[in-house]
Amino acid sequence: MRALLLGMWVLMAGTAQVLAEPRSFSVIDPSGHYLVEVLFAELPPEREQLAPALITVRDKASLDFLQQLQTPAGRVPLDRNGKTEDWHLVGEYGLLYFGDFNFDGRQDVAINNGRGPDGELQPNYDVYLQDPSAPHWVLNRPLTDLANETSGGMFTVNPKDGIIHSQTDRGCCWTRSSQWQMRDGQLLRLGFYTQEEVPPTEFGENSSMPRGYMLRTTGEWKDGQWQETPRLEGPVNEDARRLVGTLDGKIPVELWYQDQGAVVIGQLRYTKSGNGQSILLIGSREDYADEPFLNLHEYTDEGRQTGIWRISKDYGGTWVSGPKGDARELAIQLHDEYQEPEYDKFDEVARDQRNGHYQMRQDFLDRDGDLDITVLPERNAEGREVAQITLTLKDAGTQNVIVTTQYTQAMETENLIIVPEPLAPQRNGPYHIQLVKNFAVIEHNSAPDNPAYFTGMYRKQPAQ
């Protein structure tokens, strides 16, 4: 046993000695003027760990020593087999990154020094600029700070104009792309483009922003003044998806759908029965019995709902007839099958197709709804389009008016109108009108079964 333990100790000591051995790398810079040597005096126990390194710069022709730099936390450019990984030695994610960062015709260098909050996905760098009077490199703090704010590695430099490009991400829903340039030794921002997701309005706020819209802000110099211009855009449209399968285990169907923010539009076709014409679908994603479902409602041309497709995440589910979804039920079994979509069926609503009459007939609260939209040719002082709205709800049986309203309101985007109080009746609260192809969707911040709420999916009618 003592011999076995002694043998194991010798093996471990030998392994530790191998890990402790120095490891060096050498590269020639892109200009071909300098030999750069990297020395790790001791390799770390784990390949992913960082380690101190010395970087020696020599004249390539004479091998004369020029300068020695160092990093306390550099990435060792070795793979699992101990072989050099070139892309971890030199490049955008490497230990060394060469470039003419200040566009003065001289070779500069950035050296990996630690990691940012995203770990291996965000290496940090110290950026050194070459002294114009001698082959000597000096740390530049503004460029170093910019490099360490950049997500996913070093910033990039366009060699044709010296413009530096950086991108900063914060979580899932905020990103900024910026353009910079070094001028007279100073780092100057030329412009930026920021995109951030706008959260949907919470209940109780005097607004009604739906999910899926983005605030995009452009910053730039104009006539010597820095200007930032915000613009609301959206919704974010996902790729159209195709599902095929059966209804009631025997009726073949083909179903297309596309998420457009909080609204989902689609089309349904019975491939071996019916008249072969597509049925328009519209709906949303909602939870039912604590499970996520895609709920798509069938609509006739006159705005009458004929059925609901409740599709689960595994593409099973149930079809229920009628607007209330409490009548006949049939089983759905679908699967995802790719086919190039007809993109004109899933585009956003065209600007010249927004005006007109929209209606819904005999919804789940037994109401008829009529909506008229006219986008006026004149814009307001903020440059936003303005829409004239007339909206009426009636009891479907008696045709007695439940609520009616008429107003003019600035549009948030080409397809979104938010109606706050006092334009929105106080008993209803704020709501929004989202225009999609063939429909106008109205939603309040809350959705009680209240006949005075304008909530509904209004079918666009042909122009008279």
Range of the domain at 260: 241-344
Render pLDDT for 423-455 as a digit per residue (tens, 0 to 9). 887 778 899 999 999 999 999 987 667 899 999
pLDDT exceeds cutoff 60 at 17: no
pLDDT exceeds cutoff 60 at 154: yes
- Using DSSP bridges, classify how beta strands 316-321 and 431-436 pair: parallel, antiparallel or unpaired: unpaired
What is the Cα gyration radius of the chain?
32
CA-nearest of 328, 304, 329, 300 to 316 is 329
Considering its fold, how many domains does the chain have in total?
A: 4
Query: Which are the contacts of 185, defined by CB distance < 8 A and separation ≥ 6?
Result: 102
pLDDT exceeds cutoff 50 at 175: yes
In a domain, 3, yes or no: no
pLDDT exceeds cutoff 90 at 161: yes
CA-nearest of 118, 68, 119, 123 to 91 is 123
Q: Which own/partner pairs from 399-404 qualify as long-range (CB within 8 Å, at least 24 positions apart)?
A: 399/368, 402/367, 402/451, 402/452, 403/428, 403/452, 403/454
CA-nearest of 42, 40, 38 to 55 is 38
Query: Which are the contacts of 43, defined by CB distance < 8 A and separation ≥ 6?
Result: 19, 20, 21, 22, 23, 51, 76, 78
Q: Which helix (H) or strand (E) holds 456?
A: strand 456-460
In a domain, 260, yes or no: yes
Last-in-domain residue among 182, 209, 233: 233
Phi/psi of residue 6, nearest 5 degrees = -65, -40
Percent pLDDT > 70 in the chain is: 94
Q: Are residues 140 and 70 in the same domain?
A: yes
Supply the CATH number for residue 48's domain: 2.40.128
- Give dist(CA 345, CA 327) in Å, integer: 30
The pLDDT of 286-310, averaged and rounded, is 92
Q: Are residues 21 and 150 in the same domain?
A: yes
Q: What 3-state DSSP class applies to 230?
A: strand
Q: Are residues 98 and 227 in the same domain?
A: no
Lowest model confidence (mean pLDDT) among 18-22, 149-153, 404-408: 18-22
Looking at residue 16, its pLDDT comes to: 40
Q: Are residues 34 and 107 in the same domain?
A: yes
Render pLDDT for 105-135 as a digit per residue (tens, 0 to 9). 999 999 999 998 766 668 999 999 999 998 9
**How many CB atoms are closer than 10 A to CB 363?**
22
Q: What's at 116, amino acid-wise?
A: G
Q: Are residues 245 and 199 in the same domain?
A: no
The pLDDT of 206-214, averaged and rounded, is 94
In a domain, 141, yes or no: yes
Looking at residue 120, its pLDDT comes to: 64
The pLDDT of 325-346, averaged and rounded, is 86
- The confidence band for 276, taking pLDDT boundaries of 50, 70 and 90, is confident
pLDDT exceeds cutoff 70 at 186: yes
Give burial (CB, 10 Å; 0-12/13-18/19+) of 151.
middle
Looking at residue 326, its pLDDT comes to: 59
Give burial (CB, 10 Å; 0-12/13-18/19+) of 227.
exposed
In a domain, 10, yes or no: no
- The confidence band for 4, taking pLDDT boundaries of 50, 70 and 90, is very low
Q: DSSP string spanning 128-193?
A: EEEPTTSS-EEE-HHHHHHHHHSTTS--EE-TTT--EEEEEE-TTSEEEEEEEEEETTEEEEEEEE
Residue 268: alpha-carbon gap to chain centroid: 29
Looking at residue 142, its pLDDT comes to: 97
Q: Are residues 134 and 168 in the same domain?
A: no
Last-in-domain residue among 133, 154, 175: 154
* Cis, bond preceding 135 (omega within 30 deg of 0): no
The answer to whether 337 and 256 are in contact (CB under 8 A) is no
- Give dist(CA 145, CA 277) in Å, integer: 60
Beta bridge partners of 458: 440
Q: Are residues 324 and 309 in the same domain?
A: yes
pLDDT exceeds cutoff 70 at 256: yes
Q: Are residues 140 and 164 in the same domain?
A: no
